[in-house]
Chain A
Amino acid sequence: MKGWMGKFKFVFLLSFLAIILAGCGRENLTALVPKGYGAESSMNLIVLSTVIMTFVFIVVLSVYLIAIVRFRKKKGQENYIPKQVEGSKKLETIWTVIPIILVLILAVPTVAATFDLADESGKSDHINVDVTGNQYWWHFSYADEEVQTSQDLYIPTGEKVYLNMKSSDVIHSLWVPSISGKMDVNPENENTMYIEANEEGVYWGKCAELCGPSHSLMDFKVIAVSPEEYEQWVADMQSVDPEEKPQDAVAQDGKAAMEANNCLNCHAIGSSPNAVGPNLTNFGDRTKIAGYLETNKQNLVDWLLDPESIKPGNLMTGKYPELSEEEADSIAEYLLQLKPSEITPESAGN
C-alpha cells in the first residue's frame, strides 16, 4: 500500500507542476489575465468565490482527514460499538448558518455586477456595432459609421463598445475571454452587451455555443487600438472604393476571376451591407484566414480550392465552380492586396 501511495503522490506532483508551468494560459486569450472591463468584473467574482470555496474545502478536508485517521478501527477493537449519536442541534445550526453567510457574501457583489454589466443607459452615446453570427464566421457592421467588416473587430481602447448581436442561422455565443465574458447570439432576438478593452492588443474571440461541425474553428479577433488610430481606421474604411483597380496584372486577373465566379454575390468589398459571406474590404490585413490559419498566400489558395477540408460544413463549399490553381492564385493575390488602412493588427502592438 505504501509503495502505491508513493507513486500516486509522484503523479500528483507532476500534474501540479504542469499546471504551474502552463501558467495562466496564453495572454490575450485567457480569462485569467483580464484586460477588459467585463473580464475584470468576472475575475473579481472568480477570485472572491474561489477564496470562499477554498476556505470551505480546507475545513471539510481537515475534518475529513482527522476523522479517518483518528476513528479508523484499531486492532483489538473489533467488537467496539461507538456511541450512537442522533445529532447535535448546535453543530447542525452552525453548519447551516455559516454557509448562509458565505453565500450572502458572494451573492451581493454578484447581483451588483449582473446589473452593472447589463447597463444600457448610455448606449446611444457610444459606438454601436451590429454583430451577426454565421456558420462559421462573424460579421461586424458599424451602424453609424457605415463601415462593414468581418472576422476582425476594431475597437478603441478605454471606451465602451456596444455589440448588438443576432444570428443568421443557429445559436452562437460571442466570447473574448480576455476582454469580456460571453453572450449568446440568438436567431430570434437581439442581445446587447458592451465590451471595453483597457489596453491595446489583438484578442482572441471564440464561439462558445455548439453551432455545427466547424464550431471549434469559428475564431475571430478583437483588435483594440488607440482612439486616434480607431478614428483613422474608420475613415480609411469609409473611403474604400470597391471598383478600384489593383496595380499589378495578377491581381487584376484575380479581381476578374472573382467577378467571373460570382464571388461578389455573397461577399462585399466596401460598405455594401451584403453579408451572405464575410466582407472582404480589408482582407489583406486579416489576422487569420478562415478564422484560424496563418494569413499567407498558400493557405488562402488551399482555402479557395477546397474549403471543406479546412472548415467542415462551411457554406462556401460548392457555391462556385471548381477553380484552377491559376485562378485561385490570382484571387489570392488580389485579396491579399486589399489593405485600405494603415491601421492593422500590428498597430495594436503584439
Chain B
Amino acid sequence: MSIAAAQKKGFGAFLWDYLTTVDHKKIAHLYLIGGGFFFILGGLEAMFIRIQLIAPENDFISAGLYNEMFTMHGTTMIFLAAMPLLLGLMNAVMPLQIGARDVAFPFLNSLGFWLFMFGGILLNCSWFLGGAPDSGWTAYTPLSVESPTHGIDFYVLGLQISGAGTLIGGINFLVTIVTMRAPGMTYMRMPLFSWTTFVTSTLILFAFPALTVGLFLLMFDRMFGSAFFNVALGGNSVIWQHLFWIFGHPEVYILILPAFGVFSEVIPTFSKKRLFGYTAMVFATILIAFLGFMVWAHHMFTVGLGPVANAIFAIATMAIAVPTGIKIFNWLATMWGGSITINSAMLWALGFIPSFTIGGMTGVMLASAVADYQYHDSYFVVAHFHYVIVGGVVFGIFAGLHYWWPKMFGRILNEKLGKIGFWLFFIGFHLTFFIQHFLGLMGMPRRYWVFLEDQGLDTGNFISTIGTFLMAIAATIFLINIIYTAVKGEKPAGDPYDGRTLEWAIPSPPPYYNFKQLPLVRGLDPLWIEKMDGKGKMTPAEPLGDVHMPNGSILPFAMSLGFFVAGFGFIYQTDHQAWNLAIFVGMGIALGSMLIRSLKDDHGYHISKEELEREAD
C-alpha cells in the first residue's frame, strides 16, 4: 500500500496504521523517522558545542549548559540516532535479503521500536524539566551520582527503556536469520549486510545487559540510597567504568558492523563485481565482534589498572586492526577490475574508505597504552571516534539510505542534491575533525567548556567550527532532497541499480507480504546468478499458496507508554511520594498490556491464494 493511497483513507487511519503496524517495512520507516529526528537534535547540540568553542574563553553558553549539550549530543547520537537509523535499515532490508515474508517476532519488533522511541522522548524531556544530564555520555560515577538535577535520572530511565527495545530488536533479528531464510539461502550465501545484522544482533544481545546492570546500579545509588559507588560505604566507582565499557566497546562495533555491511552491498553493486573474498569478510566480521568483547579496558588505560592489564588490552586492541584491514583491502579488491559507477550511494562508500582508514589508524595509535596516556580524554580521542563514527557509521547510513531509498519508499533520491550534499559533508567533516587530532596533542582535553587564550588552540578550534557549518548545510540539503523526492522523485523499477541480492527481485516498494512465493536461492548474489543464467528472475521454491500474516496491535505502543509513565514516577518519587502513583499506573499499563498479550490468542490471518493471484506482479 503506497503512502498516497493511505492518505486518501484519512490521516487518522494512516496514523493508526503506523501505531499498530507489525510490518517490518513500516517499522523501518518509523525507525528512520525517529532516528532522523534525533539525528537533527543531536546535530543541533553539536552546533551549540562548536559555536561555544569558536573562540577562546567564549561565553555563548554557560558551563553547566555546555556540559548538558555534549552529554546529550553523545547520548543522542549513539543511542537515539545512529543505532535506530541502522536498525531501520536492517528492518527494511534484512528480511528481504534472506527471502523472508516477515521477521520472527513482528509484535516484538514493534515493541522494540516503541520502547526506543519512548525512551528517547523521556530522555529529552529532561531539557524542559530542570536540566539535561551533564556527566558526559559515559556518566562516570561518582560525578553522575552527585549531579544535583534530575538530568541523570532521565538518562538512567531513558536509556534503560530504549535499551530494552534494542535488546528485543536484536533477539528478533537473530531468530529471524536462524529460522526464516528462504530455501537454499545457507549461511554462507547470505548477503554481507544480513551477516553483519546477525553479528551485530549477537553483540547487542551480549553487550546491552552489562549496561542494563550498570544503569540499575546507578539508579539504585541515586534513588534508593544504595552504596555501589559511594566510597564512604565501601563502594567503588571503577565498577561503573568496567560495566559501561564492557557494553560500550561492543557498542562501537554494533554501530560500525552494519555500516560495513552496507558498504559490502553498495561497492559490489556499483562495481558490477562480486564481493572480493566473501568468506574472509564474514570471518573478519565475526572476529571483530569477538575481539570487541576483550578490549573494553583500553578505554581505561589511565585508570590505574596496572601495567599487566594495560599491556594485555593494548595488544588485544591492536589485533582488531588485522580483520579490519582485511575488510578495507577486500573492498579495494572488489573495485579493482570492476566497472565502477559513481552515484550518490557509491560516493558515500568511496568517501568512507579513506576517512575510515584514518579513523582505524588512529585507533591503532590509541591502542599503544603509553601513547594513549597523552591521547586519552583529549581532542585526539574526539577526532578518532568521530572519524570512525561519522566517517564510518554516518557515511554508511547515508550510503544505505541513498541505495535502498527506492526499495523503501518507491522513489529515487535526487542525484544532484545527493552529490552536492556528499561533497559538502565530506569537506566539512574533514575540516572539523582532522585538526582536532592536533588540538588534542597540543594540550586540549575533551569536554572543555572554554579553552584559554594564548595556548595556541585558537586557529584549530576556529577551523573546526567552520567545518561543522558545512556539515549542517549538507544535512539540510539531504532533508530538502527527501522532500523534493517525495514530491517529484522518479519512480524506480523493482531493480533500478542492476542489483545482485534478493531485495531487488521484488517490486519497489515491496508488497506487504514481500514474496508471493518464496524464492529458491542457488548461490551467493542469487538474483545476479539468475540474471547471468539469462532468466533475470528468481525461481519460486514453492507453489502459490495461502500466506500467513500477523495481526497489527496497539499493545506495543501501550506497553511502552506505560514504561514511559512509570519512568517519570521513578524519577520524581525521590521528591514526593505521590509520584509512586505514576509508577503504579505506568507499570499497571505495561504489565496489563503484557497480560492481555499473553491471555488473548492471536493467530494472525491468511492471505488466500486467490487474492495473491489477483495482485499484479
Which A residues are in CB contact (< 8 Å) with B376?
173, 181-182, 208
B318 touches A103 (CB 8 A): yes
Q: Say if the beta carbon of B249 comes within 8 Å of chain A.
A: no
Measured in the bound complex, the distance between the Cα atoms of B450 and A191 in whole Å is 28
A:153-178 near B, CB below 8 Å: 169-171, 173, 175, 177-178
B325 touches A187 (CB 8 A): no
Q: Say if the beta carbon of B291 comes within 8 Å of chain A.
A: no
Q: How many whole Å from A213's CB to the nearest CB in chain B?
A: 4
Residue of A nearest to B339 (CB): A73
Q: How many whole Å from A325's CB to the nearest CB in chain B?
A: 24
A111 touches B443 (CB 8 A): no
Question: What 0/1 readout, one digit per residue, does chain B (450-484) give for beta carbons within 8 Å of chain A?
Answer: 11101111011001000000000000000000000
State how many residues of chain B have any CB contact under 8 Å with chain A.
98
Q: Say if the beta carbon of B537 comes within 8 Å of chain A.
A: no
Measured in the bound complex, the distance between the Cα atoms of B434 and A202 in whole Å is 29
Residue of A nearest to B524 (CB): A86
CB within 8 A of A31: which of B274, B319, B443? B443
Q: Say if the beta carbon of B307 comes within 8 Å of chain A.
A: yes
Q: Say if the beta carbon of A206 comes within 8 Å of chain B.
A: yes
Measured in the bound complex, the distance between the Cα atoms of B439 and A26 in whole Å is 11
B271 touches A53 (CB 8 A): no
Measured in the bound complex, the distance between the Cα atoms of B449 and A215 in whole Å is 8
Contact stretch, chosen from B77-85, B163-171, B258-266, B276-284? B276-284
Q: Say if the beta carbon of A260 comes within 8 Å of chain B.
A: no
Known: A42-B374, A114-B307, A182-B376. A213 touches B456 (CB 8 A): no
Q: Say if the beta carbon of A23 comes within 8 Å of chain B.
A: yes
B273 touches A85 (CB 8 A): yes
A:277-297 near B, CB below 8 Å: 292
Which A residues are in CB contact (< 8 Å) with B319?
103
Residue of B nearest to A215 (CB): B447
Which A residues are in CB contact (< 8 Å) with B235?
188
Which A residues are in CB contact (< 8 Å) with B455?
25-26, 29, 204
Known: A49-B364, A189-B304. A215 touches B374 (CB 8 A): no
A:310-334 near B, CB below 8 Å: 312-313
B304 touches A184 (CB 8 A): yes
A184 touches B303 (CB 8 A): yes
B459 touches A22 (CB 8 A): yes
CB within 8 A of A210: which of B140, B314, B443? B140
Residue of A nearest to B452 (CB): A292
Residue of B nearest to A54 (CB): B361
A92 touches B273 (CB 8 A): no
Measured in the bound complex, the distance between the Cα atoms of B142 and A186 in whole Å is 10
Known: A184-B304, A312-B64. A71 touches B361 (CB 8 A): no
Q: Say if the beta carbon of A337 comes within 8 Å of chain B.
A: no
B449 touches A11 (CB 8 A): no
Known: A115-B311, A184-B302. A60 touches B438 (CB 8 A): no
Q: How many whole Å from B479's CB to the nearest CB in chain A?
A: 21
Known: A22-B438, A42-B370, A215-B449. A107 touches B330 (CB 8 A): no
A22 touches B135 (CB 8 A): no
Q: Which of B140, B328, B374 has the largest count of A CB atoms less than 10 A from its CB? A: B374
Which B residues are in CB contact (< 8 Å) with A43?
374
Q: Say if the beta carbon of B4 comes within 8 Å of chain A.
A: no
Q: Say if the beta carbon of A83 comes within 8 Å of chain B.
A: yes
Which A residues are in CB contact (< 8 Å) with B457?
25-26
Contact stretch, chosen from A13-21, A138-146, A220-228, A237-245? A13-21
Which A residues are in CB contact (< 8 Å) with B279?
87
Residue of A nearest to B281 (CB): A87
Residue of B nearest to A207 (CB): B445
Q: Say if the beta carbon of B206 comes within 8 Å of chain A.
A: no
Q: Say if the beta carbon of A235 comes within 8 Å of chain B.
A: no
Q: Say if the beta carbon of A347 comes within 8 Å of chain B.
A: no
Known: A25-B457, A26-B454, A30-B443. A183 touches B373 (CB 8 A): yes
CB within 8 A of A56: which of B307, B361, B448? B361
Measured in the bound complex, the distance between the Cα atoms of B64 and A214 in whole Å is 8
Q: How many whole Å from A130's CB to the nearest CB in chain B?
A: 15
Q: Say if the beta carbon of B156 comes within 8 Å of chain A.
A: no
A15 touches B435 (CB 8 A): yes
Q: How many whole Å from A238's CB to the nearest CB in chain B?
A: 31
Which B residues are in CB contact (< 8 Å) with A114?
307, 310-311, 314, 369-370
CB within 8 A of A49: which of B238, B273, B302, B365? B365
B:214-272 near A, CB below 8 Å: 231, 235-238, 271-272
Question: What 0/1 readout, one digit per residue, does chain A (37-56) give for beta carbons within 8 Å of chain B?
Answer: 01101110110011011101
B365 touches A53 (CB 8 A): yes
Known: A26-B454, A71-B339. A11 touches B427 (CB 8 A): yes
A29 touches B456 (CB 8 A): yes
Measured in the bound complex, the distance between the Cα atoms of B454 and A84 in whole Å is 58
Q: Say if the beta carbon of B342 comes within 8 Å of chain A.
A: yes
B335 touches A67 (CB 8 A): yes
Q: Say if the beta carbon of B67 comes within 8 Å of chain A.
A: yes
Residue of B nearest to A311 (CB): B63
A99 touches B452 (CB 8 A): no
Q: Say if the beta carbon of A266 comes within 8 Å of chain B.
A: no
Q: How many whole Å from B275's CB to the nearest CB in chain A?
A: 9
Which A residues are in CB contact (< 8 Å) with B369?
110, 113-114
B:278-306 near A, CB below 8 Å: 278-280, 302-304, 306
Measured in the bound complex, the distance between the Cα atoms of B339 and A317 in whole Å is 68
CB within 8 A of B361: which of A57, A100, A169? A57
Q: Say if the beta carbon of A273 comes within 8 Å of chain B.
A: no
Contact stretch, chosen from B23-31, B351-359, B388-396, B572-580? B351-359
A64 touches B353 (CB 8 A): yes
CB within 8 A of B337: which of A31, A83, A180, A189? A83
B:388-415 near A, CB below 8 Å: none
Q: Say if the beta carbon of B371 comes within 8 Å of chain A.
A: yes
Measured in the bound complex, the distance between the Cα atoms of B373 and A168 in whole Å is 22
Q: How many whole Å from B325's CB to the nearest CB in chain A?
A: 4
A25 touches B361 (CB 8 A): no
Which B residues are in CB contact (< 8 Å) with A11?
427, 431
Q: Say if the beta carbon of A212 comes within 8 Å of chain B.
A: yes
Measured in the bound complex, the distance between the Cα atoms of B371 and A41 in whole Å is 8
Question: What 0/1 readout, one digit per residue, does chain B (483-495) give for beta carbons within 8 Å of chain A?
Answer: 0000000000000
Q: Say if the beta carbon of A77 comes within 8 Å of chain B.
A: yes
A82 touches B361 (CB 8 A): no
A46 touches B365 (CB 8 A): yes
A50 touches B237 (CB 8 A): no
Known: A210-B136, A211-B143. A25 touches B302 (CB 8 A): no
Residue of A nearest to B353 (CB): A64
Which B residues are in CB contact (< 8 Å) with A117?
307, 370, 373
Q: Say if the beta carbon of B594 comes within 8 Å of chain A.
A: no
A312 touches B62 (CB 8 A): yes
Measured in the bound complex, the distance between the Cα atoms of B314 and A207 in whole Å is 24
CB within 8 A of A84: which of B134, B273, B357, B374? B273
Q: Say if the beta carbon of B315 comes within 8 Å of chain A.
A: yes
A-B contact pairs, 30 of them (CB 8 A): A8-B423, A12-B430, A25-B438, A25-B456, A26-B442, A30-B442, A32-B442, A41-B370, A42-B370, A45-B368, A53-B361, A67-B336, A71-B335, A71-B339, A72-B340, A80-B339, A86-B278, A88-B276, A103-B364, A106-B364, A110-B368, A114-B314, A169-B142, A184-B304, A186-B303, A204-B443, A204-B455, A213-B63, A214-B63, A216-B447
Given contacts A30-B456, A99-B325, 4 further A-B contacts (CB under 8 A): A54-B361, A110-B368, A210-B135, A313-B64
Interface residues of A (CB under 8 A from B): 4, 8, 11-12, 15, 18-19, 21-26, 29-32, 38-39, 41-43, 45-46, 49-50, 52-54, 56-57, 60-61, 63-64, 67-68, 71-73, 77, 80-88, 91-92, 95-96, 99-100, 103, 106-107, 110-111, 113-115, 117-118, 169-171, 173, 175, 177-178, 180-184, 186-189, 191, 204, 206-217, 219, 292, 312-313
A-B pairs with the 10 shortest C-beta distances?
A181-B373, A25-B442, A216-B448, A87-B277, A53-B361, A118-B307, A191-B304, A213-B63, A26-B456, A45-B371
